[in-house]
């Protein structure tokens, strides 16, 4: 999946499952949308489903630094690269 496809899927998940209204790529998810750690765990599960493989513990820990949709996209791209090499 390229970045545009990932972005479309992530925004759809955030709007449909987390009820975000028009999230911006640089919005702080926690401060601007009330995204919390439980939401983050749920989002990681959805990312695993989307990617078709389980994330390792280390990969899940890397997700703790995510603050924006751009961060999510960077994170997914890095994981896809790691799993394809």
Helix (H, G, I), strand (E, B) or coil at 73: helix
Residue 34 belongs to domain spanning: 3-17+26-84
Contact status, residue 36 vs residue 30, Cβ threshold 8 Å: yes
Helix (H, G, I), strand (E, B) or coil at 17: helix
CA–CA dist 33, 28 (Å, integer): 7
Helix (H, G, I), strand (E, B) or coil at 62: helix
Q: How many domains does the chain have?
A: 1
pLDDT per residue over 10-60, tens digit each?
999 999 999 999 999 999 999 999 999 999 999 999 999 999 999 999 999
pLDDT per residue over 67-79, tens digit each?
999 999 999 999 9
Q: Kindly report the CATH number assigned to the domain that includes residue 79.
A: 1.10.1200.10
């Amino acid at each position: 999946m390229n970045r545009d496809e990932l972005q479309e899927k992530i925004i759809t998940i955030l709007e449909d499952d987390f009820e975000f209204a028009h999230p911006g790529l640089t919005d702080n998810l926690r401060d601007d949308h009330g995204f919390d750690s439980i939401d983050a765990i749920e989002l990681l599960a959805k990312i695993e489903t989307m990617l078709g493989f389980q994330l390792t513990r280390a990969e899940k820990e890397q997700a703790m630094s995510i603050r924006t949709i751009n961060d999510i996209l960077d994170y997914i791209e890095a994981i896809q690269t790691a799993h394809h090499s």
